[in-house]
Structure 1
């Protein structure tokens, strides 16, 4: 988690906690929020694929809020489980991929945008994979210039302002740097 996100996270959690408390009272589980987030991101990706970037971005915001609140709900109400952590990670990867695939499909006749969307999706997966593989080897590897939260924010903002090319380039560069930072982290600590 980046330093910026680390600083914002406590304030964000306090801001949304009243809503999380209501969700808990009505019986919403963290896994329900995780799946709801995926459904919202899927809807947003559909709109992105159709070129309705603003609508798509709004759905992505809602999906990302669900993704953030599932963890808060799990931690604050002791509703965490190994399956929940696994499900959250799997759905995070799907939620990373769908909007980028949608952008690629929207720009399918533009080779440069299509290749950039594919590369951005690939390198985003590599950010997650390098950390997971490092942790599988017993190496703490929470370093990187552009983690999931930052990638999501960049993507949403560039969709809102219809500057998708800038978003893809920014994510591709930042994620590539992050992958190399993590490779170096493992090299240094092994």
Structure 2
């Protein structure tokens, strides 16, 4: 490896220090460190958007509502699969959503042992309201990206989501 290649090669995690200021990540920080930090910050920012909308629901709860908005009447395990979450986490989130009147549990018509989740009118209103309130804040979160780079960034995220989805299915034996 040439000196130029060595200078451009990603550093091992042990060779760089975690920055005290997230805006000062070293150029050679491993991709996973950048992604994990961005993900953590997006989660915190997302929860701020929920609070700014005046809602008393978690981001995880909004995620469940969004999944049910796409397809109502799913089993908890199906919601967990679509949200890349664990069934236990979904159960805890759904318990809160059901208590607050956003989701209903109903037995399956064909097999009463199966419980299906349904979005209530109140739950539908919450997710619709959140999206309308948070959309400007999320646009602001990405307004730093150069318009000319957007297609490249979008393609990267789509590829990353697909790749990580395949890895997760492999891990889960599917």
TM-score (norm 1): 0.28
Question: Rg: which structure is higher?
Answer: 2
Decide which structure has greater helix share. 1
- Higher relative contact order (Cα pairs below 8 Å, separated by 6+ residues): 1
Decide which structure has greater strand share. 2
